[in-house]
Chains A and B, each alone.
Chain A
Amino acid sequence: MANLAVVTSVAGSSSSSRTSQPALEARGVTKRFPGVVANDAVDFDLARGEVHTLLGENGAGKSTLASVLCGLYRPEEGQVLRNGAEIRLNSPRDGLAHGIAMVHQHFRLVDRFTVAENVVLGHKSLSFVLATNDIEDRVAAITQEFGLPLNPRAVVGDLSAGERQRVEIVKALYQGAEVLLLDEPTALLAPPEVENLFVTVRAMTHTGKSVVFVSHKLGEVVDISDRITVMRGGKVTGSVRRGEADVRKLAELMVGREINIVPRRAKSPMSDVLLSVSQVHLERDGAEILSDINLDVRAGEIVGVAGVAGNGQRDLAEVIAGLQTPQQGNVTVCGTPTARSGALGARRAGLAYVPEDRLGTGLAPAMSIVDNMVLTRERGFLVDRKSALAESEQFIRQLEIKTPGPLTPTRKLSGGNAQKVLLARELFAVSGARVLVVCSPTRGLDVGAVEAVHALLDEARDAGKAILMVSEDLDEVMTLADRVMVLYRGKITLEQPGTHADLERVGRAMAGIAS
């Protein structure tokens, strides 16, 4: 594929650029991990006051590059330059000393500490006795300057994901960061919080700070970025400036081929209701987790449950799977009430379950593919290994599972291949299972694996299974579901047919805004 013109040395647009040198630059950076070249001679530069997005799929190498730029990883080859001078970073601490800070996707905060305590934790020039009031005042000043509403005395454990992210950003600014690397900053945020984040990012670039925005969400980065650099397989595949960005073009650069965004819907008519949830109410520690949940899934149908993490989706799946018992309400699997008969009861009634944590909960990581295949079988005292082996080999061939053989422990499989094994077991090997509950089926998988998993689910639907799919990936829900539901704070707040789902309304419902 021909690269788009790679633009270098863009002077900060409105802000006064003291130097024509980029604030931060990577030249020929190569970083290898066992078995992969995560960054292959990557060039990247960031102007003062600029928002430069690194776009790419999971595993494209964008987080690795950000980690090299902040000092977390040391590259095998290449240089990192700050304002035109080469710098050597041996740790994130060195990065900070040069004014470079990274905000990780998974926050590194102490839940029991206050905002102020978290901000100053590990700050080098802190006095022995903490001047708590001064610290709180300075934190408050930063939160005001950059539009990051936060109470310095609030306990971090009580804050939302968006607020925690603000704490991380305030922490970086408090430590004097001039260049901020934000790794998948929108992954855990609801749409209004994303808007807030963008306001903050603009406030930062306005004062001459520079931002590297690492993301795989095509749609949202177009708005915020001055420049977008696309990575794939450890290499830069192209770079476009604001205004030139065309979503289709970017998507191609990301995926490396015309992506198939054709939605998959039910091809055959749906028949009986196989899974029915009625008036389910779940409480835990006095808090309402699910309230008045009613839904039906018919044979040959995929119902997608969307929502921001933590709104009860996982609990709903666990209630149906028999792992949690609701205080009120009923679950019926193929005509058998199962809400109070535990996981085994649900399985006996014909339920298959693919949990979000595929390797820890779904599979036994140390056991072989064959043993995992027979794990959920109940019949007989002795294990019929011979037929299980034949069956496993057949699945490995059919689903193109990449493994040395059926006796390989499942922990040695890649995420996509482990998911295929799990799906094969739950969909085909379990005798009589007609209902499937699947959680985040493609989380952490690469594009190819996502396609394969989607095809499998589609095939299962055509074979007459009733599938309830819980996913935080809205695109996934939109692609596969015949009906889309949104869970917000334990309630179903929106239900739409998949073919006519209004993306904006779904997004608003996920954020808790009634439309």
Chain B
Amino acid sequence: MNSNIWLLTFADAISIATTLILASLGAILTERSGVINLGVEGMLLMGAVTGFLVADSSGSLWLALFVAVLVGVALASVHAALTVGLRANQIVSGLAMVIFATGLSQFIGKPIEGDPLPVLIRPIDFGALSDTPFFGPVVFGHDLFTYLTWVLVAAASFYMHRTRPGLLLRATGDAPATVDAQGGSVARIRWVHTVVGGALMTFAGAWYMFARSAAWNQSATTNGIGWIALALVVFASWRPIRAIGGAVLFGFSLQVPFTLQAEQIRILPPTILAMFPYLITLAVLVALSTPRARRLLGAPKMLGQPFVRDER
């Protein structure tokens, strides 16, 4: 067996993990404030398709990414307005978001279906470093945004655990009444983190479009990665750093079927293998549904609960 192909699979897993990390980081920030946004898959699609459309008409990758972020801000604002402002059911709003965003992305993406990508995100050329055994492809084979994502994770972790607003964020997910009693604004904290989280999600979608896809392929473009990102949040116990490991693991399991197929190894039909990440996702989400598991896994205590000040 060719060991090189497994190395490349691993390198690919790290690359694909970037989307997962960005999307789950967005979900972690959102959920730590006590808001659950189930719309991740839809947000990824909207980021991807609007990125494509903007790049197609302007030719600018940077403008495309910028617009994708704005779309995330807009969509997440709707979710925040419904769940934080109007205290609507977060699950219902999140599912509505998936359906709406998936439908809208297919509608506006219809004309560009199958078109070649107008711009690409390419790996940085590290010259000779890329040829180092192992480290070459694994460490020096990625694009700028992958490296920035790693930095972002470290920054988010520092923000959450070592800064004043981070302290308030964690408190808001666990004990909003306490934050309220201290004079903090639960609504504002939830709004801000839901919106920033949403921006990360659509950015993740746009990155996936330009770095990992061949073409816009309607809802098959992201292929359920958004749902995996949601499961990853649980896997990472709502901690940014831990999301990296989980993302690489999931990325690997997403990549393995292709590698096996290329190597003509037939253990199981590739379609069965391709199911695994989703099965794991399903298992994680089922496990999360019991209160005891939520406690053990470290879910924010008031996740999904609208905050209403206790008045006499």
Q: Is B132 an interface residue (CB 8 A)?
A: no
Quote the shortest CB–CB distance from A177 to chain B (angstroms): 13
CB of B178 within 8 A of CB of A121, answer yes
Asked if A8 CB lies within 8 Å of chain B CBs, one says no
Q: How far is the CB of B13 from chain A (nearest CB, A)?
A: 32
- Chain A residues near B182 (CB, 8 Å)? 92-93, 108, 121-122
Interface centre among B164, B170, B179 (most CB of A within 10 A): B164
* Complexed CA–CA distance, A285 and B293 (Å): 12
Interface size on A, residues (CB 8 A): 22
CB–CB A130/B162 < 8 A: yes
| CB < 8 Å A-B pair total | 58
Contacts of A117 in B (CB 8 A): 167
Q: Which residue of A lies closest to B184 (CB)?
A: A122
Smallest CB separation, A72 vs chain B (Å): 9
Asked whether A159 is an interface residue with its Cβ less than 8 Å from the other chain, the reply is no
User: Is the CB of A109 closer than 8 A to any CB of chain B?
Assistant: yes
- Given the known interface contacts A33-B312, A112-B174, A113-B170, the answer about A122 and B179 at a Cβ–Cβ threshold of 8 Å is yes
Q: Is B1 an interface residue, CB under 8 A from the partner?
A: no
Chain B min CB distance to A111 (Å): 7
Is the C-beta of B294 less than 8 angstroms from some C-beta in chain A? no
Is there an interface contact between A130 and B170, defined as CB atoms closer than 8 Å?
no
Tell yes or no: B7 within 8 A of A by CB.
no
Establish whether residues A91 and B162, one from each chain, have CB atoms under 8 Å apart when the complex forms. no
B181 within 8 A of A: yes
Determine how close the nearest CB of chain B comes to the CB of A199; give it in whole angstroms.
Answer: 26
Q: Is B35 part of the contact surface with A, judged by Cβ < 8 Å?
A: no
Closest Cβ of chain B: how far from A411's Cβ, in Å? Answer: 16
Residues in chain A near residue B174, CB distance under 8 A? 110-113
| Interface positions of B from 165 to 198, Cβ below 8 Å from A | 165, 167-168, 170-171, 174-175, 177-179, 181-184
CA distance in complex: A92, B179 (Å)? 12
- Give Cα distance in the complex from A91 to B164, angstroms: 21
* In contact, B164 and A127 (Cβ under 8 angstroms): yes
Residue A261 at the chain B interface, CB threshold 8 Å: no
Residue A382 lies at the interface, judged by CB distance under 8 Å to chain B: no
The answer, yes or no, to whether A126 is at the interface (CB within 8 Å) is yes
Point out the residues of chain A lying under 8 angstroms from B58, CB to CB.
Answer: none
A132 at the interface (CB under 8 A from B): yes
Query: Of B164, B170, B177, B312, which is within 8 A of A108 by CB?
Result: B177
**Contacting residues, chain B, for A33 (C-beta < 8 A):** 312
Residue in A104, A110, A127 whose beta carbon sits within 8 Å of that of B171 in the complex: A110
Residues of the B chain whose Cβ atoms lie less than 8 Å from the Cβ of A130? 162-164, 167
Q: A93-B183, A110-B170 are in contact. Are A129 and B163 (CB under 8 A)?
A: yes
Whether A120 sits at the interface, judged by CB under 8 Å, is yes
| Docked complex: A99-120 residues within 8 A CB-CB of B | 104, 108-113, 117, 120
Q: Is residue A381 within 8 Å, beta carbon to beta carbon, of the partner chain?
A: no
Q: Is the CB of B171 within 8 A of A113?
A: yes
Q: Is the CB of B175 within 8 A of A120?
A: no
CA distance A270 to B57 in the complex (A): 92
Whether B301 is near chain A, meaning CB under 8 Å from some CB there, is: yes
- A91 / chain B contacts, CB cutoff of 8 Å: 183
User: CB within 8 Å of A: which of B260-312?
Assistant: 292, 298, 301, 312
B171 pairs with A126, CB closer than 8 A: no
Q: Is the CB of B168 within 8 A of A121?
A: yes
A128 to B182, CA, bound (A): 17
Flag if B162 contacts A129 (CB, 8 Å). Answer: yes
Instruction: Tell me, rounded to whole Å, the shortest Cβ–Cβ distance linking A415 to chain B.
Output: 14
Asked whether, in the complex, the Cβ of A132 is within 8 Å of the Cβ of B177, the reply is no
Contact between A121 and B179, CB atoms less than 8 A apart: yes
Contact A92 B183 (CB under 8 A): yes
Residues of A within 8 A of B301 (CB): 111-112
What are 13 A-B interface contacts by the 8 Å CB criterion?
A92-B182, A109-B178, A110-B170, A110-B178, A111-B301, A113-B170, A120-B167, A121-B178, A129-B162, A130-B163, A130-B167, A132-B162, A285-B292
A residues adjacent to B (C-beta < 8 A): 33, 91-93, 104, 108-113, 117, 120-122, 126-130, 132, 285
- 15 new A-B pairs (CB below 8 Å) besides A122-B179, A130-B164? A92-B182, A93-B182, A108-B177, A109-B175, A109-B178, A110-B175, A110-B178, A121-B171, A121-B178, A121-B182, A122-B184, A126-B164, A128-B163, A128-B164, A129-B164
Point out residues on B near A: beta carbons under 8 Å. 162-165, 167-168, 170-171, 174-175, 177-179, 181-184, 292, 298, 301, 312
Nearest first, the 9 closest Cβ-Cβ pairs linking A and B are: A122-B182, A93-B183, A108-B178, A110-B175, A126-B164, A108-B181, A110-B171, A110-B174, A129-B163
